[in-house]
Amino acid sequence: MADIVLVHGAWHGSWCWRRVLPLLWAAGHRVVPVTLSGLGERAHQLSPAITLATHVADVVTAVRAEECADAVLVGHSYGGVVVTGAADRLGGEVGRLVYVDAVVPEPGDCWSTQNPPSVQAARRAAIAATGTIPPPPPSAFGLEGADGEWVARRQTPQPGGVYDDPLTFDAVRWAARPRTYVACTSPALPTIDPSRQLVRGQPGWEVVELATGHDPMVSAPEELAAVLLDVAGR
C-alpha cells in the first residue's frame, strides 16, 4: 500500500479527482487529495495574500498531518509547480513525483515563466482588475457536453498572487527523484507545451502519453489511474 497525494491544477479543487479516487482506493492505497487555499471548497478563503508559497505550505501541511511516508506526490497542471516546491521541503517524506500534464519549473521560475507573452499580458491584466485569473472554458481542456458542464460549475477563479511568485528549490536533489510525466496529447493544451518538450529533452524522466485532453482525471480516469497504480506499485 502506498500513500498517494493528489494536487489539482489552477481553477480546480480536490473535486476533480472524484472519478480516480475509487480506483486507487480499490487497489488498497491511501489517498490524500489536497485542495489549495482559495480554490474548490476553500474558495471562501480567496485572498490577495495567497501566493505560491501558500500553496506549497498547503501540500506540506497535508502530507505531514497524514504522516505520509515515501509518498507518491502527484501534481496536475499548475500543481506541478506546487509539488516541486513541496517535495523540496518534504525530503524523504516524498518518493516519486508524477506530473499530470503539468508545468515543470526550473529554479527561479514562476508559473508565468513558460506562458507566451500574450497569455502573460492577459492574465496580468485580469489580476490587476480583479485580483484573480478567471477560469477558461472547459473546452480548452477538451471537455464538452456533460463533462464540460460538470467542470464549468465547479471551477473557481485562481488567486492572482500565485502567478508571478518565483519558486526556489534544489535542482540537484529534485533531479535525483524518480519522476513520471503524463503528457495529454488530444487535444494538447498549448500553455503546457514547453514542459512537455522539456521532459522529453531531459534525462531521468519516464514519459507516458494519454490520448486525451488536459483534464485526464475527468476525461480518462481509468487510464490515469492505471498510470498512478503502476507508479505506486514500484
The residues carrying an active-site annotation are 77
Q: How many CA atoms lie within 13 A of 114 on its CB side?
A: 23
Cell of 172: 540537484
Cell of 213: 485532453
3-state per-residue secondary structure call for 82-125:
HHHHHHHHHHHHEEEEEEECCCCCCCCCCHHHHCCHHHHHHHHH
Q: How far apart are CA 160 and CA 103, in angstroms?
A: 17
Q: How far apart are CA 21 and CA 13, in angstroms?
A: 14
Question: What are the helix (H) ranges across the chain?
Answer: 21-26, 52-65, 79-90, 117-130, 145-154, 171-175, 193-201, 216-219, 221-232
Q: How many CA atoms lie within 13 A of 218 on its CB side?
A: 26
Cell of 45: 478563503
